[in-house]
Structure 1
């Protein structure tokens, strides 16, 4: 899946019982994270939650350097609904390094997850590429 150009064509989709499970059951073992400002000790260097209640993506000038990034999408009722099922009543500021809205003037009540994935990857592409450690 990795090309000689160092670019990955595609993404992985995982289903989990809770948001915390998504973050903690990371498939990567090579965590070189020395950033003490994270609210958790992720194997992911960068954890982004998406929501219409997040800050507008264009307010973020850059992401910190990262080796493994994770972008979390909610269902039709958003990530906020998923927070209700967290045992420790976790919130966005405890789980994510960034909680962003990639479609701030969406004009519709909901965006389907498959649409949100493409919108988000398109909006964040340049910033993610600039911060990624190969």
Structure 2
């Protein structure tokens, strides 16, 4: 087995124990540790439904597969979004920028940042907003 396969397997197992999904960027890993309580929960709304021709069915808009919370100089923290648009994770106190993977089609996540306090929980209601 190649070193890359072993490394990715170990990274996936370690991340699964933390409750987060590893980023597609091998350098980006979660700074959380196993057993840390969830302090950020929320939902992401996929936005308005597209307009489709009357005789053709529409594909539903894609909900973000993962949300990525980032701070300068620290590894990104990623969380998988459930099929119903909900998510939950632990973030250390601080200010984070929020992004979606894959990136929102012709749009962005709003709000685009979050402040996590030293104590307590944060509830996020995120929306995909189409760019003008």
Provide the TM-score with structure 2 as the length reference. Answer: 0.24
Q: Decide which structure has greater strand share.
A: 2
Q: Which structure is larger by alpha-carbon Rg, 1 or 2?
A: 2
Greater fraction of residues in helix: 1
Q: If the length of structure 1 is used for normalisation, what is the TM-score?
A: 0.24
